[in-house]
Structure 1
Amino acid sequence: MKPGDGRPQLADLAERAGVSLATVDRVINRRKGVKERTRRHVLEIAQDIGFLSAEDSHRYGAERPLNIVVLLPSGTNPYLKILGERVKERIARSSLNDPFLRCFFIDSFNAAALATALRENAAWADGIAFFAIEHPQVREAAAELGAGGTRLATIVSDLGHVPGVEHVGLDNRAVGRTAGLLIGRFARTEAGSVALVAGSRHYRAHSEREAGFLSILDEMFAHLKVVGMREGHDDAAENYRHTLALLDQVPDLVGIYNVGGSSGGITRALRERGRESVVFVGHGLTPDTRRALLEGTMDAVFDLDPNDLIDRAIACLSGQVARSRPMKLDVYFRENLP
């Protein structure tokens, strides 16, 4: 609507309804922070003065869709980039009564930055889905917001037992055991070393996968020696340097499990050193891991479908599921790539 064309403006609606321009803006844009009685009053006046048609007024009068924010770690992790793209695709094709979605990438592995982002986005959001860092600052922020009525769901990596916070993701201990089983079976050696590369133990998902991996090696493959965990912060360059160091320092290396993301750095090091025979299992079906499977540098990729993850997170925040069960793990080899 343009001023001077004879049609009522937001300011006219605010004056007639006896509320502030900010309140009218919240009602028309279906944002939180307006009492239901005030919202309906503004919509009635909007129809009376011709700001909204009867049809539009009816649509706006329906229950306000939830405002949902998705917080993801920034960095070079290709899977998280794909996840962000899928959220933005949903935003682009959303209709009036779909949840309002926003997606932000924040400083990876920075607990203070995540706690700040949670508090700042709670001013707009009814619900927040976030990739959790297990840290007291994050737990405190989550408990505070949950007590204040903001719905929270961790995705991929959990926060532990914080009241009111649901989790959407895999059974990560079982995932780690599956990785250990594959490497133990594929290595086919009477002795040797295997290594783990993680984003960070501050991600509960990564520490649980590590625990599962170690438990099955101790149980079924005691002949394989586990060398110390390397933390690559889901950064391709760091993972590349860690892998080169492993190849130099551990001559009997027979397997690598990348507990986190950015497997491209590891495959690059294996190719450069001609060590494609090292059994390599990682996470996230992305263009780089697909290529590595086809080339034979990777043996298996664990994947959590991004669309299913987003759907489950929204359903959880919308109250459509009472409690989220662990999601299905997809395991891809060269021969069953979709």
Structure 2
Amino acid sequence: MTHRFPIKEIARQAALGTATVDRVLNNRANVSPQTRLRVASAIEELAAQEVQLATRGRRLFFDFVVEAPARFSREVKAAAEAILPQIGRAVCRPRFLFQEIMDEDVVVATLMRILKRGSHGVCLKARDTPRIREAVNSLAVAKIPVVTLVTDIGDTDRLTYVGLDNKGAGRTAAYLVARSIGDVAGTVLATRSHERFLGEEERETAFVEALTRRCPKLRVMGVHGGSGVSFETSRILTGAIGGILDLRAVYSMGGGNRSILETLRHNGIRPDVFVAHDLDQENRDLIADQRLDFILHHDLPLDLKNAFDAFLAFHKLASEPVQRRITAIQVVTPENIPAPIRAI
């Protein structure tokens, strides 16, 4: 693996030991594919950020810990890299750890490793559980600020939340469903990737309350699980939809929409309207083919800019006070699909 960076620098970027990086670079045995990928990604990140190193200023390392399907994690990384050239007050070096399924033990262990080695800030998308809250508070005690992304972690000393208004998103989805199908009898399927994501819980609660008020004849059936991953989403949904004969709408809060559509089709079910979240490539393709009716989109690069601004303010490199930073919801249809995020 060719590179021009010191092993110690690659190890720091990849959050691995120097001996592990040395084994990867020299193509030695007993190294997992995931570790090789982390080293390769670290070298790419160092190369992409090299132009920043000529900028005078303090060098800051930020860790992104994200549980999400790969299609969404790619959008997060692209958004972060698109924002970096706009930051002139410091040299910001992101380190990314993305996993499609990251249970409580993995998240806690990851945050404890970050606590041990040090960081200038953690951008976190994770489940809201007692042990993860405790880990977030441990980072805060150590003066490592935590910014939650898209889904919050309740009752912690995290620095701030960045992302969309999840309750507003739920109400918007209810409005779109009500306007599309009217006050008719039937079932609305509300899917979440996991029951412990606070943001999705807020979306569902607001959706149910608003839809019940607008369309009291509709019955909302919640299905939770699958982590937005195709196979698990299909398996859980298959076990839940038996006997549904009157599906009117789907509100998908946690992704896996191609799998949801295929599972419904396999069971002979076709909803009248489908509302989804996030403009990843899968959803772009689906809405362009008019298999999705609406996507609730928010400005992910702005979310990441808000996260970096919050970190810089914490380190007294920006004058803006840290506050809750909410991005507006945009309703995307097949007629107004925004351009994809491009790193500069």
Q: TM-score, normalised by structure 1?
A: 0.75
8 Å CA contact 2:123, 2:148 repeated in 1? yes
Q: 1:254 to 1:243 in 2, by over 3 A?
A: farther
Distance in 2 (alpha carbons) for counterparts of 1:269 and 1:158: 30
Distance 1:87 1:293 in 2: 25
Relative to structure 2, which stretch is displaced further, 161-170 or 204-213?
Answer: 161-170
Q: 1:291 to 1:109 in 2, by over 3 A?
A: same
**SS across alignment from 1:249:** coil
Which is higher, the Rg of structure 1 or of structure 2? 1
Structure 2 contact 275–294 (Cα < 8 Å) conserved: yes
* Alignment match, 2:228: 234
Instruction: State which of 67, 70, 76 in structure 2 corresponds to 1:73.
Output: 67
Alignment counterpart, residue 262 of structure 2, candidates 249, 260, 268: 268
- C-alpha separation between the residues in 1 aligned to 2:90 and 2:312? 13
Match of 1:291 in 2: 285
Aligned to 1:215, the other structure's residue is in SS state helix
Pair 1:147 & 2:141 matched: yes
Residue type of the alignment partner of 2:96: C
Which residue matches 1:52? none
Cα distance, 1:253–1:77 mapped onto 2, change above 3 Å: farther
Counterpart of 1:317 in structure 2: which amino acid?
F
Change (3 A) 1:179 1:109: farther
CA separation of 1:117 and 1:97: change in aligned 2, threshold 3 A: same
2-structure distance, mates of 1:147, 1:158: 19
- The unaligned stretches of length 5 or more in structure 2 are 1-5, 14-52, 339-344
Alignment map for 1:45-64 (pairs within 5 Å): 63-64=57-58
Distance change in 2, residues 1:249/1:81 (3 Å): farther
Give the Å deviation of 1:236: 1.7
Q: Determine if contact 1:77/1:262 at 8 Å carries over to the other structure.
A: no
Q: Distance in 1 between matches of 2:289 and 2:170?
A: 24
Counterpart code for 2:120: D
- TM-score, normalised by the number of residues in structure 2: 0.74
In 1: Cα distance, 2:245 partner to 2:175 partner = 22
Question: Residues of 2 paired with 1:330 and 1:102: CA distance?
Answer: 29
- Tell me which residue corresponds to 1:115: 108
> What is the SS of the residue equivalent to 1:193?
strand
* Cα distance per residue 1:78-124 (max 9 Å; x no partner): 22232134435667999994211111114624112111211212323
Measure the CA separation in 1 of the matches of 2:158 and 2:290: 44
CA drift of 1:274 comes to 5.9
CA shift, 1:217, in A, is: 1.5
61 and 70 in structure 1: CA distance in 2 versus 1, 3 angstrom threshold: closer
Does residue 1:220 correspond to 2:211, yes or no?
Answer: no
Paired residue type of 2:297 = D
Task: Quote the Cα distance in structure 1 between the aligned partners of 2:158 and 2:283.
Answer: 36
Structure 1 CA distance for aligned equivalents of residues 280 and 259 of structure 2? 13
Given residue 108 of structure 1, which amino acid in structure 2 is its aligned partner?
A: I
Output the CA distance in 2 between the equivalents of 1:215 and 1:94. Answer: 41
Mapped contact 1:158–1:167 kept (Cα < 8 A) = yes
Number of aligned residue pairs: 283
User: Structure 1 residues 138, 283: closer, same or farther in 2, change over 3 A?
Assistant: same
Higher mean C-alpha displacement, 305-314 vs 204-213: 305-314
Q: Distance in 1 between matches of 2:258 and 2:194?
A: 17
Alignment partners' CA distance in 1, 2:191 and 2:71:
16
| Aligned AA (1:186) | S
Tell which deviates more after alignment, 118-127 or 195-204: 118-127
Retained in 1: the 8 A contact 2:195–2:224? no
CA contact (8 A) 1:293 1:299 kept: yes
Residue 100 of structure 1: aligned partner:
93
1:275/1:189 Cα in 2 relative to 1: closer, same or farther (>3 Å)? farther
Instruction: Find the aligned partners of 2:337 and 2:56 in 1 and give their Cα distance.
Output: 44
Aligned to 1:328: 328
In structure 1, what residue type is equivalent to 2:293? D
Structure with the greater relative contact order (CA < 8 A, sep ≥ 6): 1 or 2? 2
Distance 1:303 1:73, change over 3 A: same
Report the Cα distance in structure 2 between the residues aligned to 1:178 and 1:299, rounded to whole angstroms: 13
List per-residue Cα deviations over 1:125-178 (Å, max 9, x = no partner): 111101031111111111111011111101011011312431111111111111
Q: 1:301 deviation in Å?
A: 0.6
Cα offset, 1:294, TM superposition: 2.4
